[in-house]
């Protein structure tokens, strides 16, 4: 990936109008500003600007997964029916998983999640307690035949997920790693500028334990969350399983003598962690020989992060009426350089662009011959954290006008000090 780019060369320039058929903030802004394009309902193409954001999000996720001993793999999207029949999920997922016949009449499916395939590779290579624990993750496209794909990147039929799987020798070890992953997730979201609420949610058909979701509280969310924002409380439940309602007294706070009220908000689930225990591994015959010579079932944990959905959540929570306001950590470029004027002004902007590029800065340089208004409004729309303007006025002062996208005011900065 190039550090820097001239806007004249960029594929995926801003559109003058928002797409008429999109209602979500993330789809409207990401399509208008040239990060993604819609292919069909629930399926979006990622354009060069968008791929830079995805790459940054993925790097953050990889760094944090590697820190907790995750090893990256890449599993196949294509799935044989037989494997999914071992757990009974082939028929359970009918209508949700893409399932079809290939040209030889064999049943195949597209990866919906990867518990079965991960167990299938782990069980062939781990027979002894010495081979465990195993922590494998991947970043890959997942396919789900979602009936309500209408919130842009929040709910796709094809979308990117990071999925991590832990194989441990006991429930206690699983519980311990589950906590480790929860902490790593918190860090992942913080690094990408997302405030998440650790929310209790339903376990689904395969887990006895409740699961936990990482919810970004925002209007554009599809879930409903009941939570308490009392200091140090942290109580939060997804409405699906909630035993409380908004306006109730927070029972957790009451125990410590505090008087707090449960609130209600919409949320985007950007991550979800599960303890599958030994249910699926037993169904699939994944056992190991323990120190005492006994064959015992392996314990499975499964941990997902929506990569494209996180990108959507960032946009939903970082915007104003003019466009996106990217957090630095995931912004496609760090500096949006603009020349307003030709001749000497353009020469100076060119020089700045070349020098910044040489220094390794990530610069998008709007070198088009269009009006100042168009350039400035496109800069606001695209949302790069810092805007540098070179004009007659700044040239007179031997300066550049620097403005943060997240702030109102700009300042003149002497070129010599930059």
Q: Which residues bind ligand ATP (CB under 6 A)?
A: 113, 144, 146, 155-156, 159, 161, 269-272, 304, 306, 308-309
Q: Which of 183, 109, 137 is nearest to 301 (CA)?
A: 137
Place of tokens 């990867």: 114
Shortest distance in whole angstroms from residue 202 CB to Mg ion: 9
Distance CA 10, CA 181 (A): 38
Q: Among residues 111 and 271, whose Cβ is nearest to ligand ATP?
A: 271
272 binds Mg ion (CB under 5 A): yes
Looking at the Cβ atoms of 272 and 339, the one nearer to ligand ATP is 272
Residue 49 or 273 with smaller CB distance to Mg ion: 273
Handedness of CA 186, 191, 197, 199 (dihedral sign): negative
Smallest gap from residue 199 Cβ to ligand ATP (A): 11
Find which of ligand ATP, Mg ion, none residue 229 binds, CB within 5 to 8 Å per kind.
none
Residue 318 has what DSSP assignment? S
Nearer to Mg ion, 60 or 161 (CB): 161
In angstroms, what is the minimal distance from the CB of 159 to Mg ion? 13
Whether omega for the bond prior to residue 266 falls within 30 degrees of 0, making it cis, is no
**Which residue stretch of 10-18, 22-30, 41-49, 271-279 sits at the interface with Mg ion (rule: CB under 5 A)?**
271-279
Q: Which does 159 bind (CB under 5 to 8 A by kind): Mg ion, ligand ATP, none?
A: ligand ATP
Residue number with CB closer to Mg ion (302 or 339): 302
Alpha-carbon dihedral angle through residues 186, 187, 189, 193, given to the nearest 10 degrees: 130
Nearer to ligand ATP by Cβ, of 297 and 306: the residue is 306
* Contacted by 297, from ligand ATP, Mg ion, none: CB < 5 to 8 Å by type: none
Q: Which two tokens stand for residue 403?
A: 């403005």
Return left, alpha or beta for 285; rule: phi > 0 is left, psi -120 to 50 is alpha, else beta.
left
Kindly state the smallest distance separating residue 305's Cβ from ligand ATP, in Å: 6
| 270 contact choice in Mg ion, ligand ATP, none (CB below 5 to 8 Å, kind-dependent) | ligand ATP
Question: Do 47 and 35 meet the contact criterion of CB atoms below 8 Å apart?
Answer: yes
Bridge partners (DSSP) listed for residue 297? 287
User: Which residue is at the shortest CB distance from ligand ATP?
Assistant: 306
Nearest C-alpha neighbor of 144 from the set 311, 310, 308, 313: 308
Q: Would you call 188 helix, strand, or coil by DSSP? A: helix
Using the minimum distance from each CB to ligand ATP, give the nearer residue, 92 or 101: 92
Residues 346, 369 contacting (CB under 8 angstroms): no
Minimum distance, C-beta of residue 113 to ligand ATP, in the bound complex (Å): 5
- Ordered DSSP codes for 344-375: HHHHHHHHHHHHHHHTT--EEEE--SS-HHHH
Q: In the complex, which residue's CB is closest to Mg ion?
A: 272
Contacting positions for Mg ion (CB under 5 A): 272
């Amino acid at each position: 990936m190039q550090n820097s780019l001239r806007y004249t060369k960029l594929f995926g320039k801003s559109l003058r109008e928002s797409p008429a058929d999109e209602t979500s903030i993330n789809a409207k802004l990401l399509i208008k500003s040239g990060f993604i394009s819609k292919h069909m309902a629930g399926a979006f193409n990622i354009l060069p600007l968008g791929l830079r954001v995805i790459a940054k999000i993925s790097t953050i996720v990889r760094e944090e997964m590697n820190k907790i001993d995750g090893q990256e793999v890449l599993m196949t999207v294509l799935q044989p029916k037989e494997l999914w029949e071992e757990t009974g999920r082939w028929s359970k997922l009918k209508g949700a998983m893409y399932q079809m016949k290939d040209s030889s009449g064999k049943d195949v499916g597209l990866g919906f999640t990867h518990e079965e395939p991960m167990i299938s590779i782990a069980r062939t290579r781990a027979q002894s307690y010495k081979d465990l624990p195993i922590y494998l993750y991947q970043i890959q496209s997942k396919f789900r035949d979602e009936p309500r794909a209408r919130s842009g990147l929040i709910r796709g039929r094809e979308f990117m997920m990071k999925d991590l799987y832990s194989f441990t020798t006991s429930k206690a070890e699983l519980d311990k790693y589950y906590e480790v992953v929860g902490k790593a997730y918190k860090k992942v979201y913080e690094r990408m500028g997302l405030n998440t609420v650790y929310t209790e949610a339903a376990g689904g058909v395969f887990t006895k334990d409740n699961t936990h979701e990482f919810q970004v509280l925002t209007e554009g969310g599809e879930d409903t969350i009941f939570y308490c924002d009392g200091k140090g409380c942290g109580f939060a439940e997804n409405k699906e399983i909630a035993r409380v309602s908004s306006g109730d007294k927070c029972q957790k706070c009451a125990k410590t003598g505090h008087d707090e009220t449960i609130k209600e908000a919409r949320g985007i689930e950007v991550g979800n962690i599960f303890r599958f225990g030994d249910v699926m591994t037993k169904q699939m015959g994944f056992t190991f020989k323990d120190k005492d010579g006994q064959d015992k079932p392996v314990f499975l944990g499964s941990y997902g992060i929506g990569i494209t959905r996180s990108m959507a959540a960032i946009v939903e929570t970082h915007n104003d009426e003019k466009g996106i306001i990217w957090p630095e950590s995931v912004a496609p470029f760090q500096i949006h350089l603009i020349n307003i004027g030709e001749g000497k002004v353009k020469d100076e902007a060119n020089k700045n662009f070349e020098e910044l590029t040489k220094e390794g800065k990530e610069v998008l340089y709007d070198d088009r011959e269009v009006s100042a208004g168009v350039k400035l409004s496109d800069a606001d729309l695209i949302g790069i954290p810092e805007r540098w303007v070179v004009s007659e006025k700044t040239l007179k002062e031997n300066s550049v006008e620097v403005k943060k996208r997240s702030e109102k005011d700009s300042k003149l900065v002497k070129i010599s000090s930059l």
